[in-house]
Structure 1
Amino acid sequence: MISELRIVTGYRTGITFLQEGYYTRPFKLADIGAYRADKALCLMLMTASPGMLDGDDYRISVTVSKHTRLQLQTQAYQRLYSMQQGAKQHMNVQVQEGATFSYVPHPIVPHKDASFEGYNRIELAENCRLVWGEILTCGRKLNGEAFQFKQFHNVTELFYRGKLVLKDNLLIQPERINVMAPGQMEGYTHQATLIYADTRTGAAPVADRLLEILSPEKDIAYGVSQTAGPALVLRVLGHGAEQLFNCLRKIEDLLWKEEIVEAQYKL
């Protein structure tokens, strides 16, 4: 089933609002920031489906208009059920001049025989910021389904000034590749990725602070890489989805609070 979601933000007197919100089944949108002091738009992406089913085709478009700030959250873990043909998702994001977009969804849980292909295209303008997260689990580990999915393939491309500055290509095929081998998961079962981009001042000054946030955590491995453009990538390996999700949310909260302070200062 083809399912569509389209979000366009608007700006009026310092307040970000939902200018356009269109969705088909099973998507739903909820404004969860109506009573916050923050004048940004905070939306929760919900779905009436328990997860992605065989043949599902999600098409998502997000336009963060000039000078607006959008934080998009999810309602629950994203489950990928057993499939024959597979499911796919295409997400197109435009962060316009002076805008900020933050998206750290819940972890993805591929069930046995699940197959998924995703593509994310993100275009950045001048003077904007992006926080983008992804967490992949090994599946239902307590049910004995660790790495029993067929395939998980997700590509994220980041463009700035019309040029590709980052391409993250995550492909896991447990039947063909030993995920525990050196250079792969190396004994860990969960993986988190955080992309941070800042076309105002660059992302490099944030790297040390990300490492400080993660330093108290136990039983994880992590590292930060600088991209060719104004962005960096944080990769974290661990054994628990909730731990990795909490780590990314801590980082998101830190960066978002800075956005609030800057926005209030401008007003």
Structure 2
Amino acid sequence: MISELKIVTGLRAGATWLKESYWTRPFKLADIGAYRTDKALCLMLMSASPGMLDGDDYRIHITVSAGSRLQLQTQAYQRLYHMEHGACQHMQVEVHQGASFSYIPHPVVPHAGASFEGHNRIFLEAGSRLIWGEIVTCGRKLCGEVFQFRLFHNITELYYQGKLIVKDNLLLQPERIKLAGPGQLEGFTHQATLIYADTRADAPPMADVLLDLLAGEEEIAYGVSQAAGPAIVLRILGNGAEQLFGCMRRMEKVLWQERVITDAMTN
């Protein structure tokens, strides 16, 4: 089943509003920012489906207009059920001049026999910011389904002013690759990826700030890399979805208002 979601933001008197929205089953949108002092738009992506089923084709298009700020959250863990043929998702995000977009979804849980392919394409303009996250688990760990899915393949491409600056190609195929072995997940079962890009001329360095936030976490491994352009990529390995999701949300909170944080650190 083809399912579509479209979001377009607008800016009015310094506040971001939902200028245009369109969705088909099973998607729904809810505005959860009514009691926030932040003038950004905060939306929750909801689904009437328990997860992605065989043959599902999700198509998502988000436009964050110039000067606006959008946080998109998810309702629950994204489950990928047993499939004969597979499911796919294509997501395109446009972050216009001076705009900010943050998306830290709940972890993905691929069930035994699941097959998923995704492709994310993100386009940034001058003065824009991006906070983008992904958490992939080994499956239903407590049910004994550790790396029993068939395929998880997700490609994320980040463009700045038309030039590709980050390409993250995550391929997990347990039948062909020993995911827990050396050179892969090194004994861990869960993986999180955070991509942060700040294209403003006075953008403060944030890599060390993020590493300091993770320093107190136990039983994880992590590292950060500087991309070719104005972006950093941080990877975390762990054994618990809630722990990694908590780490990602804490980093999101800092990055979303990093101006205040870095000013406080330098005073």
TM-score bucket of the superposed structures, by smaller chain:
over 0.9
Residue 183 of structure 1 is matched in structure 2 by 183
Determine if contact 1:202/1:230 at 8 Å carries over to the other structure. no
Cα drift, residue 204 of structure 1: 7.1
User: Bigger CA drift: 62-71 or 202-211?
Assistant: 202-211
1:197-236 to 2 correspondence within 5 Å?
197-201=197-201, 205-236=205-236
1:238-249 to 2 correspondence within 5 Å?
238-249=238-249
1:133-172 to 2 correspondence within 5 Å?
133-172=133-172
Q: Distance in 2 between matches of 1:213 and 1:35?
A: 27
Deviation string 1:158-206 (CA, Å, 9 cap, x unpaired) is 0011111010000000001111221101100000000000001477710
Determine if contact 1:132/1:195 at 8 Å carries over to the other structure. yes
Residue 125 of structure 2 is matched in structure 1 by 125
Instruction: Report SS of the residue matched to 1:205.
Output: coil
4+ residue stretches of structure 1 with deviation over 6 A?
A: 259-262
Instruction: Report SS of the residue matched to 1:200.
Output: coil
Instruction: Report SS of the residue matched to 2:106.
Output: coil
Taking structure 2 as the reference length, the TM-score comes to: 0.96
Residue 62 of structure 1 is matched in structure 2 by 62
- Residues 10/123 of structure 1: CA separation in 2 closer, same or farther (3 Å cut): same
- Residues 29/259 of structure 1: CA separation in 2 closer, same or farther (3 Å cut): farther
Instruction: Report SS of the residue matched to 1:3.
Output: strand
RMSD over aligned Cα, in angstroms?
1.4
Residue 265 of structure 1 is matched in structure 2 by none
Q: Distance in 1 between matches of 2:108 and 2:256?
A: 23
Q: Distance in 1 between matches of 2:218 and 2:89?
A: 33
Matched residues, number:
262
- Residues 88/39 of structure 1: CA separation in 2 closer, same or farther (3 Å cut): same
Q: Distance in 1 between matches of 2:235 and 2:202?
A: 19
Instruction: Report SS of the residue matched to 2:257.
Output: helix
Taking structure 1 as the reference length, the TM-score comes to: 0.96
AA aligned to 1:111 is: H
Determine if contact 2:254/2:261 at 8 Å carries over to the other structure. no
Residue 237 of structure 1 is matched in structure 2 by 237
Residue 16 of structure 1 is matched in structure 2 by 16
User: Bigger CA drift: 86-95 or 181-190?
Assistant: 181-190
Instruction: Report SS of the residue matched to 1:142.
Output: helix
Residue 86 of structure 1 is matched in structure 2 by 86
Q: Distance in 2 between matches of 1:46 and 1:144?
A: 28
User: Bigger CA drift: 54-63 or 248-257?
Assistant: 248-257
Deviation string 1:98-139 (CA, Å, 9 cap, x unpaired) is 000000000000000000000000000000100000000000
Q: Distance in 1 between matches of 2:202 and 2:104?
A: 20
Instruction: Report SS of the residue matched to 1:236.
Output: strand
- Residues 4/33 of structure 1: CA separation in 2 closer, same or farther (3 Å cut): same
Residue 114 of structure 1 is matched in structure 2 by 114
Q: Distance in 2 between matches of 1:114 and 1:202?
A: 44
AA aligned to 1:107 is: P
Determine if contact 1:202/1:231 at 8 Å carries over to the other structure. no
Cα drift, residue 258 of structure 1: 3.2
Instruction: Report SS of the residue matched to 1:92.
Output: strand
Q: Distance in 2 between matches of 1:53 and 1:124?
A: 32
Q: Distance in 2 between matches of 1:87 and 1:135?
A: 18
Q: Distance in 2 between matches of 1:62 and 1:192?
A: 22
Q: Distance in 2 between matches of 1:138 and 1:30?
A: 29
